[in-house]
Amino acid sequence: MTQRNLPLSSALYDYLLAQGRMVPDPLLAELIERTRQAIPDQAHMTVAPEEGALLTFLVRLLGATRIVEVGTFTGYSSLCLARGLTTGGSLVTCDVSADWTALAQEFWSRGGVADRIELRLGPALDTLRALPRVPHLDLAFIDADKPGYIGYWEELVPRLRPGALLLVDNTLFNGEVIDEFPAEKPAAIRAFNEHARRDERVELVMLPIADGLTMARRLPFDEIPA
């Protein structure tokens, strides 16, 4: 098949962000810089600006009121998700690091969305299993430890209402998912990708945004094969 994705030079990427209104505003830009200063070795874990803008856009498009995020880090994606929430909407976000999420809480407060976000510290599977096991979520976003992705997926899919979205980050993992002998993390992502591809409860697409983004839509129950 002919490759259709246009390679992005630095100049073209800057043009993309500007024309798509995806350049981080001053608060988001400061959060990126503070993350780099505080956690330089992990700063790459912050979602890309175009992905953050897409998160806000999708929340607004869905009119989402109930969101769950797996993997908070320093709060960039949480801030983007919460900005898109309708009145009365809420976001539950889970992480294991009190240090990283302390920075997140500062910026949620400064961004005026702290009242929409509930942070739950502890293993994400425990947090997800404590949620009502009925279809009630409008959107979920997974961006956490890669070996845990299949477990998070299996807890979230039954909790999505029909038509809800499940977004999964890093599903191309720097291209390493197609290595003949991938390391642990890309191997876990490849296993997850195959798991998601076979799941008949959803329809999905994988997009080459940032490090790869899988978007899965929960099918109405009468459309799921018996």
Which residue from 205, 199, 204, 207 is spatially nearest to 225, judged by alpha carbons?
Answer: 199
Domain extent for 96? 11-41+48-219
Residue 180 inside a domain? The answer is yes
Residue 158: which residues within 8 A CB-CB, separation 6 or more?
133, 135
- pLDDT above 90 for 226: no
Neighbours of 10 (CB within 10 A): 7
Give per-residue pLDDT as tens, 13-53.
Answer: 999 999 999 999 999 999 999 999 999 999 999 999 999 99
Give per-residue pLDDT as tens, 133-165.
Answer: 999 999 999 999 999 999 999 999 999 999 999
- pLDDT above 80 for 1: no
Angle between helices 49-62 and 76-83 (to 10 degrees): 30
Residue 6 inside a domain? The answer is no
Q: Which residue in this structure is represented by tokens 């195959």? A: 194
Write the CATH number for 112. Answer: 3.40.50.150
Residue 11 tokens, joined: 């100049």
Helix (H) or strand (E) holding 13: helix 10-19
Whether the CB-CB separation of 182 and 206 falls below 8 Å is answered with no
Give per-residue pLDDT as tens, 160-182.
Answer: 999 999 999 999 999 999 999 99
Residue 181 inside a domain? The answer is yes
Helix (H) or strand (E) holding 67: strand 66-70
**C-alpha distances out from residue 93 to 34, 102, 162, 185, Å:** 20, 13, 21, 22
Residue 187 tokens, joined: 């191997």
pTM above 0.75, yes or no: yes
Give per-residue pLDDT as tens, 69-101.
Answer: 999 999 999 999 999 998 899 999 999 999 999
Report percent pLDDT > 70 for the chain: 96
Residue 202 inside a domain? The answer is yes
Residue 2 inside a domain? The answer is no
Number of domains in the chain: 1
The alpha carbon torsion through 170, 173, 178, 184 (nearest 10 deg) reads: -100
Residue 214 inside a domain? The answer is yes
Residue 196 inside a domain? The answer is yes
The conformational region for residue 131 under phi > 0 = left, psi -120 to 50 = alpha, else beta, is beta
Angle of CA points 172, 73, 80, to nearest 5°: 80
- pLDDT above 90 for 200: yes
Burial class (CB in 10 A: 0-12, 13-18, 19+), 138: buried
- Within 13 A of 156's CA, how many CA atoms are on the CB side? 32
Residue 158 inside a domain? The answer is yes
